């Protein structure tokens, strides 16, 4: 007898659930887009490019002795990690 009312309430509940889920997804998407935009605005220091190209300009004799230890790749990773650490410390609520 009241099955039509039960079906109507279930449909209304499903609609509200979908609406809240859509709003939540839209808010999370806009927060993530804003965060991505913010990170794209941070300039990359020129020193990172210089650090990777400095190894290429080293003398061949130094390269012969240092190549087995992959010093060029290590310096690039070192400076990249220091740059990432610097940038992460500048973001509010995440810097340590």
| pLDDT at residue 71, rounded to an integer | 75
Backbone angles phi, psi at 91, to 5 degrees: -80, 125
pLDDT along the chain (96 residues), means of 10: 88 94 94 88 72 63 73 84 85 67
For residues 42 and 71, what is the distance between their CA atoms, to the nearest angstrom?
Answer: 28
| Residue written as token pair 């080293």 | 58
Collect all residues with Cβ–Cβ distance below 8 Å to 55 and sequence separation of at least 6: 71, 72, 75, 76
What are the tokens at 71?
Answer: 């010093």
| pLDDT at residue 27, rounded to an integer | 94
Give the global pTM. 0.42
Backbone angles phi, psi at 79, to 5 degrees: -70, -35
């Amino acid at each position: 007898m009241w099955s039509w009312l039960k079906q109507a309430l279930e449909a209304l509940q499903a609609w509200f659930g979908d609406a809240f889920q859509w709003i939540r997804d839209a808010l999370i998407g806009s927060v993530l887009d804003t965060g991505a935009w913010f990170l794209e605005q941070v300039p990359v220091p020129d020193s990172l490019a210089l650090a990777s190209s400095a190894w290429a300009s080293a003398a061949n004799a130094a390269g012969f002795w240092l190549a087995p230890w992959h010093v060029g790749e290590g310096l690039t990773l070192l400076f990249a990690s220091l740059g990432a650490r610097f940038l992460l410390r500048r973001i509010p609520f995440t810097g340590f």
